[in-house]
Amino acid sequence: MTAPAQSTAPAVRTADVWKIFSHDGLSVEAVRGVSLEITTGEFVVLAGPSGSGKTTLLNMLGGLTRPTRGGVWIDGNDLTAMSERALAELRLHRVGFVFQAYNLLPVLTALENAEFSLLLQGVGPDERRTRVTRLFEQLGIAGLEDRRPGKLSGGQQQRVAVARAVAGAPALVLADEPTANLDSASSGALLDLMAKLNHELGTTFVFATHDMELMQRARRLIRLVDGRVVEDERRD
């Protein structure tokens, strides 16, 4: 399959974005004045020590956390001006999330969890099953379709969460430590799948991670320290 031409329009952009958390009279500046443009089709890693602000920034990029000040745009849509309903609709059709805590629904099977966003999008049952079954095979979890999350290991749950995130072929995938709890073979298969989606479909990926292998695969590495960008390295 020929790779699509890469657009020069930003898939996601921030302008002087801050996030300040307050608790018991104390304030913590988790993200401080970050301005970024991530172009459609990029494969980006946010790296930094624990507490550097990478997860908070990732959540703001996807509209899960509203900034204290500054702006965030996806495909030109100003997330700070959107209602919660409009944000949810944008996320459903444009953004895939891989959460560090998996966020699988315990009452659903692995297959049903992976199909869930497709169900909300109105995709028919046969097409849902075809897409998810193919992803389970690629991720090495074929045969686990009927198990509920409580009967899956952490690594298996992580791969179900990845299948859910990419099943709808979103334009933007945001992943928080997607290779956590995976052995080297499973991690490699996961990264190969994401690299293939990036190359063949032009899917934009932004990861928050400590994983050195993922950092090495990144075509753009953004390092954060104390909520600020201290390095932005392009490797194309």
Q: Count the Cβ atoms, other than its own, within 10 Å of residue 40.
A: 19
The secondary structure of 46-77 as a DSSP string is EE-STTSSHHHHHHHHTTSS--SEEEEEETTE
Closest residue by Cα to residue 72 from 95, 92, 102: 95
Residue pair 155/183 in contact (Cβ under 8 Å)? The answer is yes
- The stretches of the chain forming alpha helices (DSSP H) are 54-61, 84-94, 110-121, 125-138, 154-167, 184-201, 212-217
Q: Where are the domains of the chain?
A: 10-234
CATH superfamily of 10-234: P-loop containing nucleotide triphosphate hydrolases (3.40.50.300)
Helix, strand or coil, per DSSP, at residue 97: strand
Tell me the per-residue pLDDT of 59-87, one tens digit each, with 9 for 90 and over.
999 999 999 999 999 998 999 999 999 99
Rounded to 5 degrees, what angle do the CA atoms 154, 159, 4 make?
Answer: 155
Closest residue by Cα to residue 117 from 154, 170, 77: 170
Average pLDDT, the chain: 91
- Give the mean pLDDT of 85-93: 92
- pLDDT classification of 9: cutoffs 50, 70, 90: low
**Whole-structure pTM value:** 0.89
The predicted pLDDT at position 23 comes to: 84
